[in-house]
Every structure is written in structure tokens, then in C-alpha cells.
Structure 1
Amino acid sequence: MAGGTTPDRAKSPTIPGDGFLIGAAIGSGNTALAAERGGADFLLAINAGRLRNMGAPSIACMLPIFDAGPLTEDFARRELLALCHIPILLGVNVWEESCDASAIAERVRQLGFAGAVNFPSCMHFSHAMQQLLSRAGRGIEKEVAVLRAVQDRGLTSMFYCATRTQARLAADAGLDLVCLNLGWNVGGAMGHRTRSSLEEVASAAREIGRLIKRIHPGVRFLLEGGPIVTAEDLGRIANLAPIDGYVGGSTIERLPLEVSVADQIDAYRQASRRRTALDSQSARLVAWGQRFGFIGRAPAQLDYLRRLQAVAGTAAPVLLLLEPGLSPQPSLAALANPGGRRGRPSVLEIDPRTEDYPAKARRLLFGQAEAAGAGRPALADETLDLLVVHAPEVLPPAMQRRLAVALRDGIFRIPGSRRQLTLAPRVVLVADGRQGAGREIPGLEPVLALLFEGWTLSPPLLRERVEDLPAIMDALAGSGTSVLPRRKDFTSGAMKRLAAHAWPSNETELRNLLGALAGRRDGGPIQLQQLLPLLQAGTATGDDRRSEKDRIVDALWRNGFNRSRTAEVLGMSRKTLYNKMLRFGLKG
């Protein structure tokens, strides 16, 4: 396939004369075949595509690291002409030692290409550099002349331009295709930061498109690069500007590959983790927890379920410590009905922060002697399975001490009465886990705190069981018709960032994040860039008590102390991570 010439141009396919055109600027036969199967109208064989396949960013095409002509021609002949059946335009430049437009055009024809495109091009240089090249006869004007010569041989020419003036030169020359290059693509691992919005791009495209069509009505006007990353982006511009097509380079070759390969590897990784089946005891524990709404099987979750099941099997009072965003309901449901008997358990929840403090809370708990016809106090109500007191530390100290005596002795007296009542329901106190445990909780009387030493439950934080993130996300999404995104809607890079997040508000923060992503305009996979503003906002509003050093240490540990992966999930450059590690005295 490498030697000799390919069939004459008369046997080469031609670009369709109508309809919206899709071109693919690629650098390998594998991508070319995929583009052809996907319905691309034509291919561009350019050195930027080849360099992308070597792992370099597209902008490397302007560096003197390879001779662009031989590099492009070699892979185009070996991998494209021999395999593909759609038109292929060869990238040509005007900086070779010999730059005869007629000779270049003839070689393109003899090799069997459908035409040519000016790439690499002067348009990527600064204005001053473009002027120097033009004065030397190797500028934009020369590129137009070469493409005109190609077109004069019955081939197709496509002209890359970056400005109104350059586009006008192509229209004056009567070239077939004019592609407005909007700059290097944004997005992905090696993408550039966006400088123009889609609306700004549409405005420029509308002006240039109308100009060149007035000069040359038969010209086909296309766009490439810049902020156009998704099909939705292109659709927004197509509604505002008279474009006839789109050329994708990184958006067709690099970005989909980055996502698909990373996601596939992540899928294999998840499959390998599922291979380790739970032992029978752990499986029964997970099934028991699922009856009460617990999700997941991470080690921290299993440890908590094991502890909860043991405590739930007793009648002892319990102190439940919760950090922000953790729901008490699954734990309360298990404590109220550990055996899972049919019927809904009877639970009364008292929150002194919402009652007529403190009198009503006291009446609810202990009753009132002079209240005629009043029901039994909650502490003696035999119809209750569970009595829950939220924020016990805000109860008056005397009431806390009275409650401690009742829980210790199992009996109590109604205030103002001598009659003793027996404690009936199980009592659970729910306190803020950030305040500490037991005696460390500010405002909690020592005699009451002492009662719960050994009888305290602390559900694991979300950051302690990130292995359960996919299952929790799918559970929050609910049914198949839910508007909330599921695990499958996130790229591998996005999931890594979620796993590294501190989650100061736990499941509530995750639910809020999914809600913010619901109904997003871009229907494609959720990228890392879409998450970062939402995660930063959540961290700013949450009460994250972990220092930056703690987060870095945690991320390093979770990523096997690989600095590149750690920097990626933390949303910073490797150099920034290294500098922070030096500042915090971290090694690894």
C-alpha cells in the first residue's frame, strides 16, 4: 500500500453538492473507518490529526517537530485511501522548499485524493507573522492560489480561514468550500479554554457567511473548532447563522475517545469489584438494611449495619449522631422494627426546636398532672414503638436530668403527681454529630450523656463509602422516567471527581447536585467541567471541617498516590498539586 500511485482522480468519490455537510479531520485509519460508518461526507487528512493520535494536542501541528507534508501524505495514502470510500482532502501547506501551486495540485490528483485543504495554515499565526509570510510569498494568498490550482484540475478545495478578510479572498477566488476556523477546540484533557461564547461565534459566522455568499453564491460555508463541542452547540449556531456544514477534528477524534476509553476501563474496574461477592453473612446484612432504606455495601456501611442490627436487637435507649445531610429515618426504622414485622411501627418524634419551648416538650414527654383528659405522656405510651427526641441538648438542664433518671430507672413521675409510670417505648436521642460524641456535645448534661456511652450510633459519612456512590445515585434517580441523572450519565472523569469530593452535606448534597443537573441542555454524558462549579458551590455553602491538606491526603490515598490522577480528580494541575504538597509537608 505504501508504494506507487493510487487510482486516478476520475475514480475518486466527490463531496455531495447539497445537504448539510459533515467533515472529519482525522489522523488514523481506525477513526476514518468509524467516521465513514457514521455517515461523514468527507475526510480531511491533516498533520494535526496525526499528532492527536500520537497523544499531542492539535496545536502541536504548528511546531517544527515533523515535516507536515510527508507526515500527512504517508498516513493518508497508507491508512485512508486504501480503506475508505468517501472523499478525502489532503492537507497541503506552502512552506515546503519548493512551493509550485501547479505541481502541488497535480500531485494531489495523481495520488487519488478528492481534493486538498490548506493545513497547516498561516491563519494560526499572529497578524504580524502572517504579514511577513505574505511578503515572502508564503502567506494566505499563496494558500488560496494552491487551492485554486487544485480546483482547476477538477478536484475539490476547502479553505480554512480565521477572519473576514481571509474568507473574502477565498470567495473572490471562487473556491468550493470555506471553513471558518474558530480556534482550537475547548474541552477534554488537552482542550483550550474558551474565549468566545456560542452567541459571539454565531454572530461572526452570520456576518462572514452572508458576505462570501454575496460574492460567490455557490460557495459552501462550514465551521470548525472553538466552543463547538457538542451537537447541541452546533444546533444553536445553525439556527442563527447560514452555515452549510461542520468539520470536526478533536470533537470527532479526541473527545469521544477520551470519554469512551476512560469509561470502558472504569466499567471493567467496576466489574472486577463486583467479582468479589459478599459472604453470606454480609449479604444477609445488606438485605436486612435494604428493608429500611439503606443503600450500598461499602465496608463502612457494612460495619454500621452490623452495629445497628446488634443495638436494634435490644431495648436500650440509643443516641444517634448525625452529620449534616444524613437522614435519620433508615436508622430509626430499623430501631423501631428490627424484625421487619408487618405493619408500620408507631413512632413519635419530638423536636424541642419546633415546640413551644420548653413547656410543650415537657408536657409531651412527662405529661401534666392538672391537665384533665390529657393522654398518657409519651414516655409511658404503650402504643408507641419508638420515641425520638431531636436536639436533646437544647432541653433545659433540669429536664435533661429528669429524662436521664427516667431512662436509667425505667420509671418516672408526672410533674406535680406522686404516681409512678413505667417507661414504655424505646427512646432514641438524635443529636448533631459535628458537636462530638456523648459528653463532648455542648449543652448535653453529663448525667444524660453518660447513659449513652456504649449505646451511640454514627452512620458513615458519604465520603467514607464512595464505593456506594453509583448505587446511591441510581436510587436517588428512582424510576426509569426520573429526570435525575444516573451513574451511566456521568463520564469516568466526572465520577472520579465525585469520589474525591468531601461531601460536607452528604446525601443531601448529592441529591442537590443531581437536581441541578436535571434537565440540562446538553443531553450527552456529564463531563468533569460541568461538575466543578456545582461542587465548588456545594463546598462553599456546606460546613466542611476537613482542611485542604486533609482533602489532598485523602485524594492521594484513594488514587494510589498517583499525582496525575489525584490532580485530575481535585480539579487542579499536577504542578499546583505538587506545590501544595510541598507547602503542607506531604511526601509520596
Structure 2
Amino acid sequence: MTAATRIRIAETDTPFLIGAAIGSGSTGLAAARGGADFLLAINAGRLRSMGAPSIACMLPIFDATSLTEAFARDELLPQCDIPVLLGVDVWGGALDPARRASEIAAAGFAGAVNFPSCMHYPRPMQQLLSRTGRGIEREVAQLRAVQDAGLTSMFYCATRTQARLAADAGIDMVCLNLGWNVGGAVGHRRRASIEEVATAVREIGRLIKRINPRIRFLLEGGPIATAEDLGQLLRLAPIDGYVGGSTFERMPLEASVADQIDRFRHAGRRVETLNDESAGLLAWGRRFGLTGRAKAQLAYLERLRPLSSVSAPVLIHIGQGQDPMPTLRALASRTAGTPVLFQIDLAGEDFPARARAMMFGHADPAARRRPALGDPEIDLLIIHAPERLPNGAQRRLARALSDGVFRATGQRRPNSVAPRVALVRDGAHADSRDSDALDGLDPALSTLFAGTVLRPPPLAARIDDLMGLIEGLSEDRLGRPLHREAFSAEAMQALEAHPWPGNEAELQTILGKLRHPGSGQPIQRAELAPLLHGNADRPATGRSEKDRIVDALWRHGFSRGKTAEALGISRKTLYNKIRKYGLAD
């Protein structure tokens, strides 16, 4: 052991001590490079390195002494030039504290720490161990012997009584253990907030300093999972240092290795080289907002582009949360200049009688205006929810589209059908058939549209485009695009595995509720979990769905189209909910 490691840690002038409880030489070297003041060689660290949770250190699966000393002697002492404290327990047979202290010094350790400790056991178990001479009192005695040998000692405690015992003995450092660390793949769930534990920290810290002001008071574990958590606690309670176990070893390793592998996996994905035809197809689609290069998207563009150059009527079958407008703009693109789109929405503000009058003209001469079907200034007539038209109106529309002419209401002279007609229906799924899009339509109308059904691919069928969509939508929502580096590997895997029943609208909603990662910390899976599992729109006030719909209708001037967009649902879904809750009147 070098002279540097012989320095008593508690007597240094370092204002805030950082200890790292680790289980391998590589982690020890990394901790030293990061500026740790000392290392703890404990069996929990070794078990973490083996993939087990920290709590496994209290199970009878390995001898703590031999397990700890072996890796500390072979991996830490030969390589690390900062002090190493050895974890010792008092549960063996005959124990001579002075002899054990001499052995620790001879091996080259800077001192010792009571670990594993009976403080992790329930109180009845602690009392039983104390009666047999293997309790907290014996742990304090062993650490006092270590100090008497000129080394440093650190005492883990969990209660006020245990802290007083160590302070009375003059132990160099007292570390209040707040429980097993939360977070990570095998971490515990958070049981107490930073504010809640700060009260106990202040109380125990004041007790220790009253007994012996020279003792360094440190913390470890519990709700402190990040540096930000520690900073928050320091604003509430004064401490002299922090010891990191899972926070320095398990959780960073889980994140960094996973993220690194994910980056390499992503970099290794073969990006298929597009031929000239496919590249031209993608460029054409981008003009209308049809982005992405997934196979399903390319197949859709291959079907859409030929239909954009003809005047045949088309039926578009969209899923919940899909926007039909890019497809509609593409269908109207055969017109030079900016095309005129006229929309009739039977799932929104337009009722069947009004829709029929808008298409075929009004019977009242005073209200008569040019019917949309015969208006040459309209390039694309769009009818949303055509299944809500009465069968008679559907048959009339089918005849007009089939013959190319129609008689306006109240007129005998035939009119030519001027605009192209597109029907838009909600409710498509990735595995639905064309016949599903035609259900509910009059046979005359369904026969006419049977060969021209378009179904934009759902987001679940084009996951390869997910990251590109996130970058584009986040720029609109957050003012800056979120690139892949903004998400941890687990978060990205969760996004890619999600079925996306709400398609792009669901993605927009989730992005709008995410924090903007300005701190440089990637978005974690835990942050996405409640959003991906349907809690994104659950109000904190506990308001009912009916209340939220009424509120949204008021805020958007009872415009059902705008209300549906704000709620992240389709117009058809909103229409059904309005009927369900009796809000139609």
C-alpha cells in the first residue's frame, strides 16, 4: 500500500467526500479516474458485478469474507491508487477485533467498513444477533479496533440509535443507509421521496455532530438515484459526503452498455439503397407530407401515385390517429397550381340533410347555390363518413359518379360532375381488407369504389420510419428535433415494440408530454411507460371522460374536428362519444 492510501480519509481537507462501493477492478479504476476519494470493497458490489441485485449480499450464497477479500486483493489493491476500505462482518466464529485489524492493515487496505451488516435485518433479528455477540455492537467494536491500528473506518447505520452508538465510539465516518437503491433493471421501487428522507437526515446528522463534530456524516441508497437527487437533498439537509453503490456501478453500467450496443446495432442496420424509381417516388410523396421509406410506405406510394393522375373516385380507409390530408393533397395534385379542396364532414358538423344539400343543391330557391358536385372551381370533393348518408343519397351519388352527370335539386337540366370525389372512412387496421372499408355503404356505392380503396399504412407497419417521424414531430412540438441519442436504449426499444393503436396522433401526444432533455440525460423507459400504457390523457384532477369532452368542445367553439384533434381521437370516435354521453343536443 502506498503512502497516499495510508492517509486517514476522514482527516483530509476534502469538503465533500465521494465513496464508491464497487465489485470489480475495472469499475474501481473508472471510479478513481472520476475523482472518487475512496473505494469500498464489499460483497454487494461483487454480486452486482455478477448480475445479482444488491440485496443478495444478505443471502447465504457466498462467504462474504472470502468473496470480498479475493477480488479486492487481486483486482483493486494492485491497480487503484486511492484508499480501499474492506467490507468485514462479525458473524463468524471466534472473532479477535485487534487481530482482524492487523490482518486488514497487513493486506494493504486503508481501513474497513461494516458490510454486510445486521442493520439490514428486521429489528427482532438484530436483537437476536446482539444477544449472541454478533450484532451492531460487535460491528462498532471491530471498526474501533481498525481505527486503533491507525486505519480508517466507516460505519453503516440505518437508525438514530445505531448512529449514536457509532458516534459515541468516535468512528471516523458514519454513513446513513437510506435503504436499497431505487432505479435500474433490478432496483427497488421508490418508497420515500427526497423531502421525506431529508427530515431523518437532518435529525441524525445533528445528533452525530453534537456528540463528535469531527465525524464525517455521509449518505447512501434509497431514493437518491441521480446526481440531481443528491443536489436536491443537499438543499434540504447538510451532509459531508455520499457513497454510491448501484448508482455508480450497476445503473450506469446498465445504461451505458445497453446504449452503446444499441448505437452499434442501429449503425449496423443495413440501409437499403434505393433505385432511381423508389427515390423518385419518395421525393414525390414528400411534396404532400408523405414521409418515410419503410417497405409499407413505399408500397403505398406505388399504389397512390398512379391514382393521383386520374379522375376516378377514391375511397380512403384511415386508422385512428391517421391524417388523410397528405393522401388527399396527392390525389388533387393533377391540377396545376394550388388545388381547391371542399370537405363535407358527416362525422363532424355536417348532418345528412345538410350534406345532401351541399352535394346536390338546395330545394329552397332562396338558399340555392351551386352544388358541390357540379362546381368546376372545386378540384377535390371530400366526403368524410359517407356511411352516414341515407341510402337514397348514397345511391344518388353512385349514379352521378357512374354517369358523370346529375340533376341538381329543384332543376331538370343535367349537370356534369366537375370535381374528383374522395370518400374518407375511419377505422382501418393493418390486417383489414378492402371489403371492411366498404361495409355500411349502399351496394351501388360500394361497387363503384371496390377497386379504388386506399389504406395508408399504420405506424405499426412502418416502425423503420419511427425515428424520422419523431424527429419531424418533435421539432414542431418542442421546437427542436429529438434524435436517437435523446432516448436510452430501453426507451427506444419500448417505442419500437409499442403497437401504436393511435398512429401518428398518439405519437404527437406522447412527444408533447415528454420533458425536453436539456440536461443531456436521455429519456428513460420509466418516463415513457405511463404514456405508452394509456395514462397520457388521464387527468390529475380525476375528471371523467364526459367532463373532458365537454371542456374540449367549449374550448374549441364546439368544432368537432378541432375537438377531436385536441383529444387525439378520430372524428368518428368523438361523434360516438358525443352520442354515448347525450351531448348531441
Q: Do the structures match in fold with TM over 0.5? A: yes
The CA deviation at 1:321 is 0.7
Q: Distance in 2 between matches of 1:108 and 1:8?
A: 16
For residues 391-420 of structure 1, give each alpha carbon's deviation from its aligned partner in whole angstroms, at most 9, with x where no partner exists.
111122222221111111122221111222
Q: Find the counterpart in structure 1 of residue 411 from structure 2.
A: 417
The one of 518, 522, 525 equivalent to 2:515 is: 518
Q: Find the counterpart in structure 1 of residue 506 from structure 2.
A: 509
CA distance 1:395–1:373, change in 2 (3 Å) = closer
The one of 277, 297, 309 equivalent to 2:305 is: 309
The one of 246, 249, 252 equivalent to 2:248 is: 252
1:454-465 equivalent positions in 2, closer than 5 A: 454-465=451-462
Q: Distance in 1 between matches of 2:366 and 2:168?
A: 100
Q: Distance in 1 between matches of 2:449 and 2:503?
A: 25
* Aligned residues of 1:7 and 1:110 also touching (Cα < 8 A): no
Residue 378 (str. 1) matches residue 367 (str. 2): no
* Aligned residues of 2:478 and 2:512 also touching (Cα < 8 A): no
Q: Find the counterpart in structure 2 of residue 494 from structure 1.
A: 491
The one of 26, 34, 40 equivalent to 1:38 is: 34
The CA deviation at 1:254 is 0.9
CA distance 1:182–1:452, change in 2 (3 Å) = same
Q: Distance in 2 between matches of 1:29 and 1:43?
A: 11
3-state SS in 2 of match to 1:160: strand
The CA deviation at 1:530 is 2.6
For residues 176-199 of structure 1, give each alpha carbon's deviation from its aligned partner in whole angstroms, at most 9, with x where no partner exists.
211111222222222223333333
Residue 69 (str. 1) matches residue 69 (str. 2): no
The CA deviation at 1:159 is 0.9
The one of 12, 17, 20 equivalent to 1:21 is: 17
3-state SS in 2 of match to 1:159: strand
For residues 467-526 of structure 1, give each alpha carbon's deviation from its aligned partner in whole angstroms, at most 9, with x where no partner exists.
222221112111796378553222222222222222221111121122222258986323
CA distance 1:479–1:353, change in 2 (3 Å) = closer
Residue 160 (str. 1) matches residue 156 (str. 2): yes
1:179-578 equivalent positions in 2, closer than 5 A: 179-337=175-333, 343-355=337-349, 357-368=351-362, 371=365, 376-434=370-428, 437-438=434-435, 441=438, 443-478=440-475, 482=479, 486-519=483-516, 524-537=521-534
CA distance 1:354–1:479, change in 2 (3 Å) = closer
Residue 126 (str. 1) matches residue 122 (str. 2): yes
3-state SS in 2 of match to 1:478: helix
3-state SS in 1 of match to 2:382: strand
Query: Aligned letter for 2:398?
Result: A
Say which is worse superposed, 517-526 or 106-115, in terms of deviation: 517-526
Residue 116 (str. 1) matches residue 112 (str. 2): yes
Q: Find the counterpart in structure 1 of residue 549 from structure 2.
A: none
* Aligned residues of 2:175 and 2:218 also touching (Cα < 8 A): yes
- How many pairs does the alignment contain? 534
Q: Distance in 1 between matches of 2:189 and 2:436?
A: 52
CA distance 1:359–1:63, change in 2 (3 Å) = closer
* Aligned residues of 1:433 and 1:458 also touching (Cα < 8 A): no
Q: Find the counterpart in structure 2 of residue 145 from structure 1.
A: 141
Q: Distance in 1 between matches of 2:206 and 2:285?
A: 65
3-state SS in 2 of match to 1:250: coil
Q: Distance in 1 between matches of 2:93 and 2:334?
A: 84
The CA deviation at 1:244 is 2.2
Q: Distance in 1 between matches of 2:109 and 2:334?
A: 75
The one of 148, 152, 165 equivalent to 1:169 is: 165
Q: Distance in 2 between matches of 1:10 and 1:376?
A: 93
Say which is worse superposed, 417-426 or 245-254, in terms of deviation: 417-426
Q: Distance in 1 between matches of 2:102 and 2:250?
A: 32
Q: Find the counterpart in structure 1 of residue 74 from structure 2.
A: 78
The CA deviation at 1:282 is 2.7
Aligned Cα root-mean-square deviation (Å): 2.7
* Aligned residues of 2:382 and 2:424 also touching (Cα < 8 A): yes
Q: Distance in 2 between matches of 1:208 and 1:488?
A: 41
3-state SS in 2 of match to 1:295: coil
* Aligned residues of 1:8 and 1:109 also touching (Cα < 8 A): no
Q: Distance in 2 between matches of 1:338 and 1:270?
A: 39
* Aligned residues of 2:178 and 2:222 also touching (Cα < 8 A): yes
Query: Aligned letter for 1:527?
Result: Q
CA distance 1:439–1:239, change in 2 (3 Å) = closer
The CA deviation at 1:331 is 1.0
The CA deviation at 1:88 is 2.0
* Aligned residues of 2:39 and 2:83 also touching (Cα < 8 A): yes
Ranges in structure 2 where 5+ consecutive residues have no aligned partner? 539-585
The CA deviation at 1:540 is 9.8
Query: Aligned letter for 2:279?
Result: A
Q: Find the counterpart in structure 1 of residue 554 from structure 2.
A: none
Q: Distance in 2 between matches of 1:475 and 1:540?
A: 22
* Aligned residues of 1:49 and 1:249 also touching (Cα < 8 A): yes
3-state SS in 2 of match to 1:251: coil
Quote the sequence identity (%).
Answer: 59
3-state SS in 2 of match to 1:507: helix
The CA deviation at 1:532 is 2.3
Query: Aligned letter for 1:271?
Result: A
For residues 294-315 of structure 1, give each alpha carbon's deviation from its aligned partner in whole angstroms, at most 9, with x where no partner exists.
2322222222121112222322
CA distance 1:521–1:204, change in 2 (3 Å) = farther
Query: Aligned letter for 1:448?
Result: L
The CA deviation at 1:106 is 2.3
Q: Find the counterpart in structure 2 of residue 578 from structure 1.
A: none
Say which is worse superposed, 144-153 or 532-541, in terms of deviation: 532-541
Q: Distance in 1 between matches of 2:116 and 2:98?
A: 19
Say which is worse superposed, 273-282 or 475-484, in terms of deviation: 475-484
Query: Aligned letter for 2:250?
Result: R
The CA deviation at 1:94 is 1.6
CA distance 1:134–1:484, change in 2 (3 Å) = farther
3-state SS in 2 of match to 1:222: strand
The CA deviation at 1:427 is 1.1
The CA deviation at 1:118 is 1.0
Taking structure 1 as the reference length, the TM-score comes to: 0.84
The CA deviation at 1:326 is 0.6
Ranges in structure 1 where 5+ consecutive residues have no aligned partner? 1-5, 542-588
* Aligned residues of 2:42 and 2:68 also touching (Cα < 8 A): yes
* Aligned residues of 1:323 and 1:432 also touching (Cα < 8 A): yes
